[in-house]
Structure 1
Amino acid sequence: MTKRKALSLVVGIGVLIIIILIIYGVTNTLNHTKRADHLVKGVDLSAYQGEIDWELLAAQNIDFAFIKATEGDDFVDSKFKTNWEESQKTQLKVGAYHFLNYDTTGKVQARNFIENVPASNKNLPPVIDLELYGIYEDNALPKEQVKVILDELIKELEDHYEVKPILYTTQRIFKMYIGTDYKDYPIWIVDLDNSWPETLPNGEKFTFWQYSHRGMMDGYDGDETFIDMNLYNGTYAEFIKEFF
């Protein structure tokens, strides 16, 4: 091979590499640009997911994350403080949730959450996780009794954070405890049949949908292999307008 041909080959290969790098860069930029109408996906997690690599997690086509903060009147998730601080360094929209306990008042539960979760208009509203657990799975409390606890918790959180809390609930519990009483509050509905629920049982529009408890992503190393997956009921532009 002559020096001229060798030089031409080297130049040609160099140009090809530059073209490939340009295409990769443009494609990568497009893939990480938030289109106004793209599907708005997120996760929720707790100490069960162990140590979180938040930069890696955020790079996997998700937009938001809800982090467990507190439960009842004194429990604080062991990973909350670290998860909260590290998540704030990413482009994710982040919120915290409280697991409601039926054995204590809404006021003291609100105090537990408020003492641990900073108030900021840069984050998603607080979430109240309303589930049946333990003895209450088979012996659910009457609606009137739950409403006293829930109403007090809602009021305290709303007064402090100056935003309406999001209510997380299953279809069953929605029918038992929510119904038509909380129409002004965003509802995060759990429905794992993997078909988009058009409306809530009361005919209203839901805000978030938890569609899977068995998502798998990179970026965590806890005993729990899976991570909960969620979608916002709207476009990214609507998501930003509603909460920010």
Structure 2
Amino acid sequence: MRKTPLVPLGLAVAASLACGALTGCSSNAPRSAGARQDSAVVQPQDGSVRSASRPKGLIPGVDVSAYQSKVNWVSVKARGNRFAYVKATEGVRYVSSTFKAQYAGARKAGLDHGAYHYATPNTSSAKRQADYFLAHGGGGKADGHTLPGVLDIEDNPYGKNKCYGLSHAKMVAWIGAFLKEYHARTGRRAVINTFKDWWIDCTGNSKAFSATDRLWVNDHKATASKVPVPSAWSSYTIWQWTDKGVYGDEDYVKSATVYRKLLAS
């Protein structure tokens, strides 16, 4: 999923115009306390270009953010994708400028859709961020086409400490508070988007959520038969295959059975 550094809106727009689509260019613009985030991005650590051959037997989909300002959703659907996750919020000061159009566009084209929140645990409480996410598109009932919301939590793109300066115990508590608030407000269980090394380093390989919340793994070097997951989970639910897809990040749900359960959860 896409990280969006805290930069003033004008600088962010300029940065996004200067970068070609899906190039993963970085922004070194200065941060400010009241700044708004937009479509400038930093490249994921394991970003890579995949071959034209896509995994077989999995349920394909995409995830997008303001970085993909224009998406041809009819083409996304025609390519065989079943779902789209759209970035809604980050922290408590950013709402994606493209969320509403992308979320509605995906559904209009016949895709199932869902929203995700990029967590910044060092900027505000988990409850505030969950409530902010829900107030700006992160809700949605299990209606047969709306997927449960996602907590995207991974390397800190704004500083050298990838764990946002939190201890294992404080990080686990923060994640737990977000998931608890989301569940209390929606009745649904959020999906956790992360990757194995971060989970080990920043939560101490916590097993606190594996019994209730599904796992979305970002690993662009993995193969369908071997996707590394934190040991607390027996397997993944969603796998981000690449961050350099045709229409955005390309993802796969493990199976049709898993997809049905995810959509209904």
Give TM-score scaled by structure 2 length. Answer: 0.69
What residue in structure 2 maps to residue 168 of structure 1? 193
Correspondence 1:221-232 to 2 at 5 A = 227-232=248-253
What residue in structure 2 maps to residue 127 of structure 1? 150
Q: Give the residue type in structure 1 aligned to 2:253.
A: Y
Q: 1:119 to 1:64 in 2, by over 3 A?
A: same
For 2:208 and 2:163, locate their aligned partners in 1 and report how far apart those are by CA, in whole Å.
Answer: 24
Q: Which one of the candidate residues 49, 52, 55 is aligned to 2:71?
A: 52
Q: Give the residue type in structure 2 aligned to 1:188.
A: W
What residue in structure 1 maps to residue 207 of structure 2? 180
For 1:238 and 1:119, locate their aligned partners in 2 and report how far apart those are by CA, in whole Å.
Answer: 19
The answer on 1:213 being equivalent to 2:243 is: yes
Greater per-residue helix proportion? 1
Shift of 1:215: 1.3
CA distances 1:74-105 after superposition (whole Å, capped 9, x unpaired): 21011011111222212211110000112210
For 1:194 and 1:151, locate their aligned partners in 2 and report how far apart those are by CA, in whole Å.
Answer: 28
Shift of 1:42: 0.9
What residue in structure 1 maps to residue 181 of structure 2? 156
For 1:145 and 1:61, locate their aligned partners in 2 and report how far apart those are by CA, in whole Å.
Answer: 41
Q: 1:150 to 1:201 in 2, by over 3 A?
A: closer
What residue in structure 2 maps to residue 223 of structure 1? none
Checking the alignment, whether the CA contact within 8 Å between 1:65 and 1:95 is kept in structure 2 is yes
Q: Give the residue type in structure 1 aligned to 2:242.
A: S
Shift of 1:182: 1.1
Gaps of 5+ in 2: 1-55
Q: Which stretch has the larger CA shift, 81-90 or 149-158?
A: 81-90
| Structure with bigger gyration radius | 1
CA distances 1:174-201 after superposition (whole Å, capped 9, x unpaired): 2132531111210001111132335623
Checking the alignment, whether the CA contact within 8 Å between 2:117 and 2:133 is kept in structure 1 is yes
Correspondence 1:38-77 to 2 at 5 A = 38-77=57-96
Q: Secondary structure at the residue paired with 1:231? A: strand
Shift of 1:157: 0.8
Matched-pair identity in %: 25
The answer on 1:116 being equivalent to 2:136 is: yes
What residue in structure 2 maps to residue 18 of structure 1? none
Shift of 1:164: 0.6
Q: Give the residue type in structure 1 aligned to 2:75.
A: L
Q: Secondary structure at the residue paired with 1:229? A: strand
Q: Which stretch has the larger CA shift, 187-196 or 164-173?
A: 187-196
CA distances 1:96-143 after superposition (whole Å, capped 9, x unpaired): 000011221011111111111142223100000001222133864211
Shift of 1:62: 0.7
Gaps of 5+ in 1: 1-36, 218-226
Correspondence 1:70-109 to 2 at 5 A = 70-102=89-121, 103-109=123-129
Please give the root-mean-square deviation of Cα atoms over the aligned residues, in Å: 2.0
Q: Give the residue type in structure 2 aligned to 1:193.
A: K
Count of aligned positions: 198
The answer on 1:243 being equivalent to 2:263 is: yes
For 1:85 and 1:137, locate their aligned partners in 2 and report how far apart those are by CA, in whole Å.
Answer: 33
What residue in structure 1 maps to residue 5 of structure 2? none
Give TM-score scaled by structure 1 length. Answer: 0.75
